[in-house]
Every structure is written in structure tokens, then in C-alpha cells.
Amino acid sequence: MAQAEILFPHEVFDTRIAVAYGNYHVECADNLAFMRTLKSAAFQLIVTSPPYNIGKEYEKRRRLEDYAQEQGRVISECVRLLTPTGSLCWQVGNHISTSGEVVPLDLVLYPIFKELGLTLRNRIIWHFEHGLHCSKRFSGRYETILWFTKSDEYLFNLDPIRVPAKYPGKKYFKGPRAGEFSCNPLGKNPGDVWVIPNVKANHVEKTDHPCQFPVELVERLVLSMANPGDWVLDPYMGVGSAIIAAIKNSRDGYGCDIEPKYVQIAEGRLVDLCEGRLRTRPMDRPIYDPSLKNGGQR
Ligand SMILES: C[S@@+](CC[C@H](N)C(=O)[O-])C[C@H]1O[C@@H](n2cnc3c(N)ncnc32)[C@H](O)[C@@H]1O
């Protein structure tokens, strides 16, 4: 029992074992009610994308002040649940007011994270190619991920997420290291601008959810900010993409969503993953480029 208390975020061990992957637990619940049942400092990584207050099928438009206040309550609970070395990644886009004004949600929410004592490590730009074609402003083709840590002693594993260097064989041509490789043979840091296709109609991961995470986007966060066996939480999990990214990489996943139909899809995807049927876009697949043969795909 003492061991279960250390290992599992709930007092009662009711987590499903995903054989050969990580453990997971998903629930249909309001996230505040759900998180209040979980133990403090249990999660190494919390990664999520909340509603943007733009009137999607799973939300009602509210005054921006009310939206921000509710976000504050959820974020505060997330901070309680983070381990001292843990990371909180909040993925948001723009709120568009009824008059068409663009309000970047990361700017609205940043003071809340600061007030709660978190430290911003990166503001990651996630660039994608597909979306609405606007006629009165430039079409939106990026969103952001705010990566905060709870302390200065935070976990960050760079090697598992390195990407191929531009000139992998390049060597120093003079000086004391002449002849040695000038770049890391494992690849380079992916930087803070991530070009990852968003999940639209032709994406292999598309479900009935209107705004799901690409699994590869969360995999980069999971691999760098949590170790195998660590717990990862998504309090707005939708169809469970973050939980999939976690258990696919031998981390353990917890999540909740308030809409039963999304939770049902998440459960189905998790079963498919564990039984080897779930297709996800691989992290190392090049971006489709119509100017190249076969779109540059291998
Ligand atoms: C932007 S979507 C997240 C999608 C998710 N990243 C995925 O990959 O499927 C936001 C989700 O938050 C859920 N949601 C809204 N309010 C909630 C609440 N109070 N508690 C839990 N989930 C909520 C919505 O049903 C919606 O699925």
C-alpha cells in the first residue's frame, strides 16, 4: 500500500495497465473536480490545450475576464499537481472577439502563470499549413505552447528529441579541434519553431474531434520533459492524444474530458494503441512538399 501511494496519483489503484506500454487512466469528468481527487506533486508533465473561448462545439463563449478566471483556477490546481522538477505546457491560439479583434491567449494567460510562481522556459511557435482562409486578415498559421517549470531544477532531456543537423558531416577546419565534427552527431536542438502538420481531414490521426493535438507534437514534449515511468496529465484531454503520446513512450498517462463522446473515442484509441492498431504520424516524417518528388515523402 505504501508503494502504491508513491506510484499512483489516486489513493486507490484503479489505473489500467497498458501491457508493454505505460499505465493509463482516463475519465469523463470536469477537470477541476477530477484534479481535486489527485495527489499533490504526482505529475512530472502536464500538457494541455484548453478551449479558446471561440464557440467551438464543446464550449460556450464567455466574457474574456470570466474565461481567464476559470483558466486561473485550473492552472492553479495543475501547479499543485506538478513535481518540483516538473513542467507545465499550455498550448493555445487566438481568441477572436465578436467584432473580429484577435486576442492572443498566451498573452492573456501569461500573468496567471507568473503569479503562481512558474518560470517560462520557451514560448514555442507551432506552425502548420492548414486552416481557415481569412478574407479580412492574414490566415492564422501558428499557435503557441508556453512551457513553464515549477523550479530551476527542472528535467530536460535534449538527446531523445534532436533532429538531423543541416550539415551532419561538417568538421572544424582549423584550430585545436580541426578535423573533429563541429556538430553533435546525435543531431541538433529542434529550436522553438516547430513545423508539424495539424490534424485536418487527411491526417492519419483524424477523429470526430474538431481540434485534436497531433501525437508527434506531444511526443516531443513527453520525451524531453518526462522520464520513462513518470506520470503525464492532460486535464482537457479531448480524444486522448497526450495520453497516447505518453504511453507510446513508456510514460504513464492520466486525463479527463467533460464530453462523453470524446472520452469514448480516447478509450478506443488507447485500446487500439495497446493492441498495435493505432496509426500515428511518425516524428521523423518530412513535411509534405509538393515541389519535390512524391512530396518529399520516403
Ligand atoms: C482544444 S480541446 C483539446 C483536444 C485535445 N488536445 C485532443 O488532442 O483531443 C479542449 C477540450 O476541453 C474539453 N473541456 C472543456 N471544458 C472542460 C472541463 N471543464 N473539464 C474537462 N474538459 C473540458 C472539451 O470537451 C475539449 O475536448
Is 295 among the domain residues? no
pLDDT of residue 14: 52
pLDDT of residue 7: 55
pLDDT in tens, 245-268: 999 999 999 999 999 999 999 999
CATH of the domain at 250: 3.40.50.150
Name the β-bridge partners of 96: 102
In this predicted structure, the answer to whether residue 1 has a pLDDT above a threshold of 50 is no
Is the CB of 87 inside a 6 Å radius of any atom of ligand 1? no
Complete DSSP assignment for 114-140:
HHTT-EEEEEEEEE-S-S---SSSPPP
Q: What is the CA radius of gyration of the chain?
A: 20
Number of domains in the chain: 1
Is the CB of 27 inside a 6 Å radius of any atom of ligand 1? no
Mean pLDDT of the chain: 90
Q: Which residue in 91, 66, 83 sits closest to 236, CA to CA?
A: 91
Residues 263/26, Cβ–Cβ less than 8 Å:
yes
Is 296 among the domain residues? no
Question: How far is ligand 1, taken at its centre, from the CA of residue 34, in Å?
Answer: 13
pLDDT in tens, 71-80: 999 999 999 9
pLDDT in tens, 28-64: 999 999 999 999 999 999 999 999 887 788 888 889 9
Is 288 among the domain residues? no
In this predicted structure, the answer to whether residue 97 has a pLDDT above a threshold of 80 is yes
How many angstroms separate the CA atoms of 255 and 263, rounded? Answer: 9
Cβ-based neighbours of 173, under 8 Å, separated by 6 or more: none
Is 292 among the domain residues? no
In this predicted structure, the answer to whether residue 8 has a pLDDT above a threshold of 70 is no
Question: How far is ligand 1, taken at its centre, from the CA of residue 190, in Å?
Answer: 28
Give the ligand 1 atom nearest the CA of 50: 10
pLDDT of residue 115: 97
CA-based torsion, 241, 253, 256, 87: positive or negative? negative
Question: How far is ligand 1, taken at its centre, from the CA of residue 213, in Å?
Answer: 11
Q: Label residue 4 by pLDDT band (50, 70, 90).
A: very low
pLDDT of residue 33: 95
pLDDT in tens, 223-237: 999 999 999 999 999
How many angstroms separate the CA atoms of 70 and 127, rounded? Answer: 27
pLDDT of residue 266: 96
Output phi, psi for 247, to 5 deg. Answer: -75, -25
Q: Is 51 helix (H, G, I), strand (E, B) or coil?
A: coil
pLDDT of residue 16: 55
Cβ-based neighbours of 231, under 8 Å, separated by 6 or more: 9, 42, 43, 44, 45, 251, 252, 253, 254
pLDDT of residue 270: 94
Q: Which domain holds residue 243?
A: 2-283
Is the CB of 30 inside a 6 Å radius of any atom of ligand 1? yes
Is 56 among the domain residues? yes
Average pLDDT in the 170-189 region? Answer: 87
pLDDT of residue 76: 98
pLDDT of residue 182: 82
Average pLDDT in the 190-199 region? Answer: 96
Mutate to test the pocket of ligand 1, among 49, 257, 270, 278 (most ligand atoms within 8 A of CB): 257
Give the ligand 1 atom nearest the CA of 259: 25
C-alpha cell read off for 42? 504526482
Is the CB of 236 inside a 6 Å radius of any atom of ligand 1? yes
How many angstroms separate the CA atoms of 206 and 28, rounded? Answer: 21
Q: pLDDT > 70: what percent of the chain?
A: 92
Mutate to test the pocket of ligand 1, among 67, 234, 236 (most ligand atoms within 8 A of CB): 236
Complete DSSP assignment for 66-103:
HHHHHHHHHHHHHHHHEEEEEEEEEEE-EEE-TT--EE
pTM: 0.92
Give the ligand 1 atom nearest the CA of 31: 20
Q: Label residue 3 by pLDDT band (50, 70, 90).
A: very low
Is 262 among the domain residues? yes
pLDDT of residue 180: 84
pLDDT of residue 57: 85
How many angstroms separate the CA atoms of 125 and 91, rounded? Answer: 10
Is the CB of 269 inside a 6 Å radius of any atom of ligand 1? no
- Most confidently modeled of 84-93, 130-139, 158-167, 278-287? 84-93
Give the ligand 1 atom nearest the CA of 241: 8
Is 57 among the domain residues? yes
Helices marked H in 146-256: 215-225, 241-248
pLDDT in tens, 117-164: 999 999 999 999 988 899 999 999 999 999 999 999 999 999 999 999
Is 289 among the domain residues? no
